Amino acid sequence: MLMKLRTALAVVSLFLSLAVSADHKSNECAGCWIAPVGAATVEQSLGVNIHFTDPRPGEVEMIANAGFHWVRMDFKWDLTERARGKYDFSDYDRLLKELDAFKIRALFILDYGNPLYTEAKSVRTPVAREAFVKWAVAAAKHFAARGIVWEVFNEPNVAMFWPPQPNVDEYKPLAADVGRAFRTALPDEQLIGPATSTIDFRFLDSCFKSKLLDDWSSVSVHPYRQTSPETAASEYTRLREMIRTYRAGPNQSQPSVISSEWGYSSAWPRMNEETQAVMLSRTFLTNVANGIPISIWYDWRDDGNDPNDPEDHFGLVRNSYRSGQTPVYDPKPAYFAAKTFVNVLGGFSFQERLNIGSADDYVLVFSRNGERRFVTWTTAPLTRRVLMKNITGEYSVLSVTGQSLAGIMPISGALSLELTSTPKYLIPLH
């Protein structure tokens, strides 16, 4: 199981219009909400976590139909080395065959202990590290040139995955040994880490001081939080500044920051399936508009059916498989939110965030071949009304789950927008 926060997320949605000036400048951090140079199109960044190597018939097709281009999955040591030095990767061969059929790429987590060498999930001794590195290199060689991204462990900064207590000084030699081995034997394979639970700056800083950035193409984090997704933007900027500090110099490459796990449970207090869909949209919007090249949503399907257990309800679809039906899983609103996100913004790239209203107000611009589409919302507790100036033409409006809302058009060159905590898509009518 991957780590998830259990605490409540409060999402307040009251409906009271508030007129504000569009000339007020956002007080967001200088490095936030700025389009990166050469950014990929929106849909290329999106992925989802899974917990299987043998998908049910129709399952991968359903993942692809939602618009996901990535799947993140544990690549477990104990399942693939059951006798010392004997590796069996056939389970993952089958999974990749299914993914390849739908042009979905894999992000595999090299993770957890092996009872042949360790007492628990952590890899703490020189003997265990040596065996782990040999196994990791064997796996990457087996799947070389398949476009896989290899992640060194999962959430080593929490006791659940690095028992008895997380210790960055134990994790660093493991990551360093894997990095050196990949650099020597597999220089073209992508290696990332450390997949921290939350953006754990202390843990990350220690990793960077030990020069782990020399072997990582990206720094992976899990930005779980009790607050709104937009609060991650300033943390991303701080993390990039840390990376630049440790990778200073004209010839030093700058690893990107990726969000390799992040989700909201529809069973958290004051959450439900509808607000989960809202949080998914705002999470992806935050990541795309802050230059995160890969965003993995946790989770693909619900782990169970206990209505009182938040761990059972991070999925985009419900738990039960529906043999012979289409679709094969019952979609939750968050599934339709993901699909709408890609349907509306697929092929588009983030262009800018407009300075409109207050720092709580968001109007994001996405462009493709001269066409501009907008996404609007606010993090303020009350509904707000703002004016977007110098706008022409009529726009259709879609909800986060794809329902058509009333169209709007500017009056005297200004578009009056009602902003709520739920994003709306504005699509020009030609």
Q: Is residue 36 part of a domain?
A: no
In eight-state DSSP terms, residue 358 is S
Burial 371-390 (b: 16+ CB within 10 A, else e): ebbbbbbbbbebbbebbbee
- Cβ atoms of 386 and 420 closer than 8 Å: no
CB count within 10 Å of CB 49 equals 24
- Residue for token digits 């965003």? 295
In eight-state DSSP terms, residue 143 is T
Output phi, psi for 270, to 5 deg.
65, 20
Which of residues 309, 325, 346 is at a domain's end? 346
**Are residues 259 and 276 both part of a single domain?**
yes
Give the pLDDT confidence score for residue 83 in this predicted structure. Answer: 98
Burial of 305 (0-12, 13-18, 19+ CB in 10 A): exposed
Which of residues 288, 313, 346 is at a domain's end? 346
**Are residues 298 and 401 both part of a single domain?**
no
**Are residues 99 and 202 both part of a single domain?**
yes
Q: Is residue 30 part of a domain?
A: no
Which of residues 303, 325, 346 is at a domain's end? 346
Q: Which residues contact 240 (CB under 8 A, 6 or more apart)?
A: 31, 254, 257
CA geometry: angle 208, 255, 32, nearest 5 deg:
100
- Cβ atoms of 190 and 164 closer than 8 Å: no
- Cβ atoms of 24 and 358 closer than 8 Å: yes
Q: Which residues contact 153 (CB under 8 A, 6 or more apart)?
A: 109, 110, 111, 112, 123, 161, 162, 171, 174, 175, 193, 194, 195
* Coil/strand/helix, residue 340: helix
Give the pLDDT confidence score for residue 114 in this predicted structure. Answer: 98
CB count within 10 Å of CB 3 equals 18
Quote the CA–CA distance of 110 and 131 in Å, as a whole number.
Answer: 13
* Grouped pLDDT means (10 residues each) for the chain, 430 residues: 37 27 47 85 96 98 98 98 98 98 98 98 98 98 97 98 98 98 97 98 98 97 93 97 89 91 94 96 98 97 94 97 96 98 97 92 96 96 92 94 94 93 94
Quote the CA–CA distance of 175 and 249 in Å, as a whole number.
Answer: 23
CA of residue 126 relative to chain centroid, distance: 33
**Are residues 301 and 404 both part of a single domain?**
no
DSSP bridge pairs for 385: 19, 418
**Are residues 363 and 305 both part of a single domain?**
no
DSSP bridge pairs for 317: 301, 331
In eight-state DSSP terms, residue 325 is S
Cis peptide before 327 (omega within 30 of 0): yes
**Are residues 162 and 211 both part of a single domain?**
yes
Quote the CA–CA distance of 200 and 202 in Å, as a whole number.
Answer: 6
Q: Is residue 2 part of a domain?
A: no
Q: Is residue 406 part of a domain?
A: yes
For residue 143, the domain's CATH number is: 3.20.20.80
Q: Amino acid letter at 41?
A: T
The residue range of the domain holding 407 is 351-428
* Coil/strand/helix, residue 231: helix
Give the pLDDT confidence score for residue 28 in this predicted structure. Answer: 58
- Residue for token digits 């659940």? 160
**Are residues 129 and 160 both part of a single domain?**
yes
Give the predicted TM-score (pTM) of the model.
0.92
Give the pLDDT confidence score for residue 250 in this predicted structure. Answer: 73
Give the pLDDT confidence score for residue 31 in this predicted structure. Answer: 83
**Are residues 328 and 370 both part of a single domain?**
no
Q: Which residues contact 120 (CB under 8 A, 6 or more apart)?
A: 113, 163, 164
DSSP conformation letters of 264-303: --TTSTT--HHHHHHHHHHHHHHHHTTT-S-EEES-SB-S
Kindly state the tokens that stand for 219.
């720094």
How many folded domains does the chain comprise? 2
**Are residues 338 and 371 both part of a single domain?**
no
Q: Is residue 375 part of a domain?
A: yes
**Polymer length in residues for the chain:** 430
**Are residues 231 and 372 both part of a single domain?**
no
- Rg of the chain taking only CA atoms, in angstroms: 22
**Are residues 186 and 295 both part of a single domain?**
yes
Quote the CA–CA distance of 77 and 111 in Å, as a whole number.
Answer: 6
**Are residues 324 and 355 both part of a single domain?**
no
Kindly state the tokens that stand for 277.
């869909």
For residue 416, the domain's CATH number is: 2.60.40.1180
